[in-house]
Amino acid sequence: MPDFGFTLGARSGSARTGVITTPHGEIHTPAFIPVGTKATVKALLPESVQDLGAQAVLANAYHLYLQPGPAIIDEAGGLGAFMHWPGPTFTDSGGFQVLSLGAGFKKVLAMDSGQRDDDVIAEGKERLARVDDDGVTFRSHLDGSEHRFTPEVSMQVQAAIGADIAFAFDELTTLNNTRDYQVMSLERTRLWAERCIAEHDRLRSPDRPYQALYGVIQGAQYEDLRRTAARDLGAMPFDGYGIGGAIEKRNLADIVGWVTEELPEDRPRHLLGIGEPGDLFAGVAAGADTFDCVSPSREARNSAVYTPSGRFNLLTSAHRRAFEPIDAECDCYTCTHYTRAYLHHAFKGKEMIASTLATIHNLRFTVRLVDGMRAALESGDFDAMREDFLGRYYAGAASQPAAPVVAGGDASR
């Protein structure tokens, strides 16, 4: 198996198919990558994750650094061996979590609040992280102990964890930060990217499988900053790219499009933290190749499930005597063996099996949806598929009772 590579396939406008080759297998793109925060996809066995069609999983460097520690995972033979997952793996850099968990950042756009940029945090939250040009000092959300991540430390942590694909350390900003701060932060992230490449190269060993390194494109909602970041990092020897940062939903397609227009065609692009059906279609259409998000599994654990007719809440009384599957067209284990009535009962009774069964369905739904996009791109039917699916999905969602409110963001992956 080659160390790492990316081969382009079918095209439809900016949308494309491809194959990412890693030391632990291939990822056929576009693809949705389930999140396994602490070396586990919550509520599921690795075999279940395989059965629902996932090609890879993404773990969280921040959480694994705090517990059990990268040295333990290294001794176990790397992330895949540690969590009994045979396929490709990703780790994010920890840049999102050291700041979002450490500072309680607000992620929504608001008018000028009079706060300084380094004080933009959610009301009632204590700031546990401080960023400077060298890195980030933060306190653990678990026990309050103090730690420090620099680009070099992030590379060392991810090298020890041993995923097939790692991400460069970047600074998380919010939509509340001023443009002046975004400009300063973008330069900081560019310099950190150079340091990540140098440390990543220093850590490479012929005794270990090749670990690909993706740069992360920031720039908030500003077109010129996003394009500048994409050009700057696109000129660096990264194996691929992540598109990150807090993004307003209404601007998602435009922002991804700005970035992909500037990035090299021959390297894969990963859209970080995106998993809602409409956003996945927008990302694919704009040229993103892979996606990760906690939403399908997190919402499942809160009794919200996806169907082609929209998302709904299994806890509502309408499902008490609904002796039918979540989705009659779904081929997942849950839909072929259990009814909505049973799941309603299990959630009402706070039974652990409820989270497992709902998570199997939501992840299978999301993986299958993106797999369908890939097939539609190959057959030339992507635009028709997108129009048909979204028309049914949002029409159905409008008629459903509201799903439970779930906290936004991916800080707790």
Catalytic residues: 92, 292
81 C-beta neighbours (distance < 10 Å), count? 12
At 388, is the secondary structure helix, strand, or coil? helix
- Residue 263: φ, ψ to 5°: -80, 155
Which burial class, exposed, middle or buried, applies to 341 when counting CB atoms under 10 A from its CB (0-12, 13-18, 19+)? middle
Q: How far apart are CA 276 and CA 296, in angstroms?
A: 8
Q: What's the N-to-C CA distance of the chain in angstroms?
A: 30
Q: How far apart are CA 152 and CA 131, in angstroms?
A: 15
Interhelix angle for 252-262 vs 277-285, to 10°? Answer: 30
* In contact, 297 and 271? CB cutoff 8 Å: no
Place of tokens 């730690």: 147
* In contact, 402 and 313? CB cutoff 8 Å: yes
Q: How far apart are CA 19 and CA 366, in angstroms?
A: 19
The pair of structure tokens assigned to 316 is 């509502």
- Residue 409: φ, ψ to 5°: 85, 170
Backbone φ/ψ region at 311: left (φ over 0), alpha (ψ -120 to 50), beta: beta
Which burial class, exposed, middle or buried, applies to 214 when counting CB atoms under 10 A from its CB (0-12, 13-18, 19+)? buried
Which burial class, exposed, middle or buried, applies to 127 when counting CB atoms under 10 A from its CB (0-12, 13-18, 19+)? middle
Q: How far apart are CA 240 and CA 335, in angstroms?
A: 36
* In contact, 162 and 73? CB cutoff 8 Å: yes
Largest CA-CA distance found in the chain, in angstroms, rounded:
61
Q: What type of residue sits at position 23?
A: P
How many CA atoms lie less than 13 Å away from 14 in the CB half-sphere? 22
Q: What is the secondary structure of 264-297 as a DSSP string?
A: -TTS-EEETT--SHHHHHHHHHTT--EEEESHHH
Q: Kind of pairing, strands 5-12 and 15-22?
A: antiparallel
